[in-house]
Amino acid sequence: MDITEQAKTILQRLLARGYEAYLVGGCVRDMIMGRAPHDHDIITSASPAQVKRIFDKVIPVGEKHGTVAVVENKVSFEVTSFNSLEQDLSRRDFTVNSLVLDIDGKVYDFFGGKDDIRNRVIRTTGKPQRRFREDPLRLMRAVRFAIDLDFSLHTGTKAGIIENCHLIKDTAAERVRDELCKILLSSSPGLGIRMLQEYGLLRHIIPELAECVGFRQRSRHHNKDVFEHTLAVLDNTPGTLNVRLAALLHDVAKPATFSLDEKDEGHFFNHNIVGEQMARVILNRLKFSKDTIAAVTSLVKEHTSRYARLSTSGIKRLIRRVGAENLDDLFALQLADIKGSAAPSNTGAVDRMREEAASILASKEPLGVKDLAISGRDLIDMGFPPGPEIGKMIKGLLELVLENPEQNTREKLINIIKEKNK
């Protein structure tokens, strides 16, 4: 196992002062598995004060847990102080995360982590009940590691999750959000959300989504219930956050908007509009940022736009509503939605919208009022009285320009106004 030179330097400097120092946690697990670690965490018998004296750049990150960040050549290493090595390791969540490695490549394994890596098992370090009660975020971390590493959960650990699933409610929304994001951004988001559901966690995190489980669509366009369809769509999206969140929530309002027609065919009128509102409530509750909420709710609202057979001006309005920067996500969501529904998979409408949107954006055609060659101010200067009429005239001009971009010159628009008001 190769410890990076940089991590080695830090260990060496601590060892040279007579302290113990090891690599710990995820990086050791990843090195044993032959995966590239994305960071290197270190534990040492030196106190944070002593660590500060040894290195030039030390930033306090979690000093009450005895953790500081040591920055060397712009790379930051978390260095945590311990009194007893075994005691530090016993506080870590899972056996596969409770391994340490010394500078010579020797692994110290107090809790059977190596065997669990070999058998591909996630198992709590210590009794599941106690460990999950201490920090219920571990309920979600267990699911995340299982899908990320493609491990299964040890029987007792799984039972512990099921028994304690309600405790996730007591965890700070920000921590739940971050863990949910990691699950969504993994290579198996659908499996991750399925596990959250099966172990009882989902109904405490996003109860609205748990309502979708087993909800039959009664429609020839769908061969799956709402939840199964959602998971399929999720697995068909590219791995970026907004589109994954939108996939997760795009049909969340289906149970609330369900109706049957006289032919016994199911419909979900306005589920995109109601879904937009529900998504906002959910994302706010989970303390997502304003920008994320704005983008994701608009994706949920517009996910049905592929049915609308939009005209050119309709596509321009769509671009304005969704934002040019979110268009790729919208089309990716729509394609994933099609793939996750019953055959035939007809992507024609989406392909056409995508092409037309691309050409509209490339030719920089006007999309909104601010792209018009004249403004309300200009109309007032022409002698029209300030008031709501000005707004209406501007809207009328925009309608015209959306269909006929070549009309968007100052001269032409002024002439049009003069003609109309003769």
Could you list the residues that contact ligand ATP (CB under 6 A)? 25-26, 41, 92-93, 97, 135, 137-138
Q: How far apart are CA 98 and CA 253, in angstroms?
A: 42
201 binds, among ligand ATP, Mg ion, none (CB under 5 to 8 A by kind): none
Residues with Cβ within 8 Å of 262's Cβ and at least 6 positions away in sequence, in order, are none
Judge residue 165's burial from the number of C-beta atoms within 10 Å of its C-beta, 0-12 exposed, 13-18 middle, 19 or more buried.
buried
**Residue 134 Cβ, how far from ligand ATP at the closest point, in Å?**
8
Instruction: Decide whether 92 or 123 has the Cβ nearer to ligand ATP.
Output: 92
Q: How far is the CB of 165 from Mg ion (least distance, A)?
A: 25
- Shortest gap between Cβ of 346 and ligand ATP (angstroms)? 39
Pairwise CA distance, residues 20 & 22, whole Å:
7
Spatial contact of 253 and 297, defined as CB atoms under 8 Å apart:
no
Query: What does the alpha-carbon distance between residue 131 and residue 138 come to, in Å, rounded to a whole number?
Result: 8
Write down the least CB distance from residue 25 to Mg ion, Å: 6
Q: Are 292 and 329 in contact (CB under 8 A)?
A: no
Backbone angles phi, psi at 398, to 5 degrees: -60, -45
When the beta carbons of 72 and 135 are compared against ligand ATP, the nearer one is: 135
- Do 149 and 192 meet the contact criterion of CB atoms below 8 Å apart? no
Nearer to ligand ATP (CB atom), residue 156 or residue 214: 156
Nearer to ligand ATP, 80 or 334 (CB): 80
37: contact with Mg ion by CB under 5 A: no
Among the listed residues 341, 345, 344, 347, the one whose alpha carbon sits nearest the alpha carbon of residue 223: 341
Nearest to ligand ATP of 98, 304 (CB atom): 98
Peptide bond into 388 cis (omega under 30): no
Q: Which does 92 bind (CB under 5 to 8 A by kind): ligand ATP, Mg ion, none?
A: ligand ATP
| Of 21-29, 88-96, 122-130, 191-199: span binding Mg ion (CB under 5 A) | 21-29
Q: Which residue is nearest to Mg ion (CB)?
A: 26
Task: Supply the minimum distance, in Å, between the C-beta of residue 138 and ligand ATP.
Answer: 5
CB closest to ligand ATP, residue no? 26
DSSP string, 113-169: HHHHHHTTEE-BSS-HHHHHHH-THHHHHHHHHHHHHT-EEPHHHHHHHHHHGGGGG
Q: Which of 3, 7, 14, 26 binds Mg ion (CB under 5 A)?
A: 26
Distance of closest approach, residue 277 Cβ to ligand ATP, in angstroms: 33
Whichever of 36 and 343 has its CB closer to ligand ATP, that residue is 36
Q: Assess 113 for contact with Mg ion (CB under 5 A).
A: no
Angstrom distance (rounded) from CA 151 to CA 85: 26
Minimum Å distance from CB 169 to ligand ATP?
16
Residue 44 binds which entry of Mg ion, ligand ATP, none, CB below 5-8 Å type-dependent: none
Tokens (6 digits) for 38: 């994305």
Instruction: Give the SS3 label for residue 89.
Output: helix
Closest to ligand ATP by CB, 139 vs 209, is 139
Q: Residue 78: which of 55, 94, 99, 110 has the closest Cα?
A: 55
* Contact residues: Mg ion, CB under 5 A: 26
